[in-house]
Structure 1
Amino acid sequence: MTALTSPRRTTFTRAAGGPTFARTLRSELIKLTTLRSTWWSLGIGAALSVAIAFLYVSAVDGAYPVLGVLVSAQFTMLVAGVLGAIAITGEYATGMIRSTLTANPRRIPVALAKSLAVALLVGGATVVTSLVCLAVTIPVSTVPIVWSEPTQALIPLLLGVAAMIAYALIGTGFGLLVRNGAGAIAATVGVLFVAPVAVSLFQFGGESWQWMVDLGRYLPVAAGRDLTAIPTGDVLVPALTLVAWVVTLIGTGLILLERRDA
């Protein structure tokens, strides 16, 4: 009797209790939004964005409010990248990753759900922060926003949100690769901040180092700056550059996640 009922019970449990991607995503969103580090990161990023946008528009005569929002993103991108990194490495530091993978042994959907949760949270926070920045900078600017021309306002702002999401996912990719908080943050800061500064030094090296300057255009920060240029020009190359960074890092991280022990 036991031999006949046991397989049915096992089959029913797997069919009814198997976590779907939607349930996994909801779980990852709950975990991410209940961490104090998440809200500290988002709060610091928002405060820096509003302060930098306000100072820029107030200090520069005839500054465009939308440009002030986009300029502030060049400083707060590190916050997004660090948030993406600790969203992954935090579970490795506490050992919670073992519980997560025990509840859902399908590792790739779990990692994709974590990445999507980071993208949704950072994207939503960037939209809200951008609106606050505009509310603060419009009263002190003498230049009105031309909403009737999408390339002057709406499109650059939306592309700015996309770029911030890409920065966060780059940090997530390094988190999957390194699985150590300090190492992932160091790699993220190196790519988003140190590498552009180092490449800029080659501008003084003459034509013999021009190839290095040209190569620097394919760094994430340079691609994000070109992507949000006003008026928006050729967005294909910078967009593909950011996508390539995200896909390469997260894709490699997924492969290693499948092959390495938790």
Structure 2
Amino acid sequence: MSAVAPAVPAVSGRFRLSFPRSLRSEWIKLSTLRSTWWSIAITAALTIGIAVLIAFAFTSTGAVRQGVNGIMAVVSPIQFTALLAGILGAIAVTGEYSTGMIRSTLTADPLRGRVLVAKAAVLAVFLFLASLVMFVIAAVIVSTILGAHGEALEWGAPDKVLLPLLSAAATMAVCALIGVSFGFMLRSGAGAIAATVGLLFVLPIMSNFFAFAGESWKWVLDAANYLPLSAAQNAILPSDTAPMSAGVAFLTLGAWVAAGLLGSWVVLRSRDA
């Protein structure tokens, strides 16, 4: 007779996996990557540097005295820094696929939807808070520069300073989530970055080519208003002449996030790691 191996008693673990622990795990992975802090440093340098240059340009041309809102100097760099936010979101996901860490992640937490939501939440909150700090610093410096010419930012008017800063920070978080979505759907660093750059930067430029194509191609320009960065511009600095209201712009940004995360969830559930 063959010996029967003795049964190993099951040991009840002291800790159980929960969503807060998944969040903590994702934060550890994000914060221990040097690429994260390099990306934030470059984003901060561009945000503050470009804002300062635009502020000096405003003072030399008298643009603020001619009715130009000084907060534009602070939020204008987002056309470039949003790309960095999207790329950071993409590499935060594809880096796990390239190293094979995604297998460990999904083994530790088999609930793939929870993994997706935890990673998306950590990146969104991190980018929002980091971007808000950058924009506030840039706003203080810009206000000081403009204030020397009697045109400081109107901090007492929330719709002229605070709301644009919050909207710009939210846009950075949205772009990061778009990068996360492409990362999960494509699982390739090069592919996810290319798709993110294409959506955030290339498509808006290409749509401008149709401005001279006549009335029959006007639908392209109308559709381009619903691209993420185009909608973000209307959300950050709404105006009566804008192609969409701030409410519609925020709904558009939310729709991009929802569609991207839904697609990521479907792909994550249907494919092996």
**Shared topology, TM-score over 0.5?**
yes
- With the length of structure 2 as denominator, give the TM-score of the two structures: 0.89
Deviations 1:211-244 (A, max 9, x none): 1100000000100000011569831111111111
| The structure with more radius of gyration | 2
Distance 1:108 1:219 in 2: 26
> Is the CA contact (8 Å cut-off) linking 1:119 and 1:165 kept in structure 2?
yes
Which amino acid is 1:246 matched to? Answer: V
Contact 1:223 1:241 in 2 (8 A): yes
Match of 2:124 among 119, 127, 130: 119
Taking the aligned partners of 2:193 and 2:22, their CA distance within structure 1 comes to 25
2:250 to 202, 225, 239: 239
**What code does the residue aligned with 2:133 have?**
V
1:94 aligns with 99
Deviation sequence 1:116-174 (CA, Å, 0-9, x none): 11111111110110122122212211322222322111111111111111111111111
Runs of 4+ in 1 over 3 A off after TM superposition: 62-65, 230-233
Among 11, 26, 29, the alignment partner of 1:28 is: 26
| Equivalent position amino acid for 1:235 in 2 | A
For 1:74, the equivalent position in structure 2 comes to 79
Q: Which runs of 5+ in 2 are unaligned?
A: 1-5
Partner of 2:49: 51
**8 A contact 1:151–1:231 mirrored in 2:** no
Aligned residue identity for 1:73: I
Cα distance in structure 1, aligned partners of 2:71 and 2:23: 33
- 1:176 is aligned to 2:174: no
Correspondence for 1:147 among 148, 155, 159: 155
With normalisation by structure 1, the TM-score equals: 0.93
Structure 1, unaligned runs of 5 or more: none
**Larger helix proportion, structure 1 or 2?**
1
Aligned positions, number = 255
Hey, what's the Cα distance between the residues in 1 that align with 2:141 and 2:32?
A: 29
The one-letter code of the counterpart of 1:25 is L
Q: State the AA in 2 paired with 1:129.
A: M
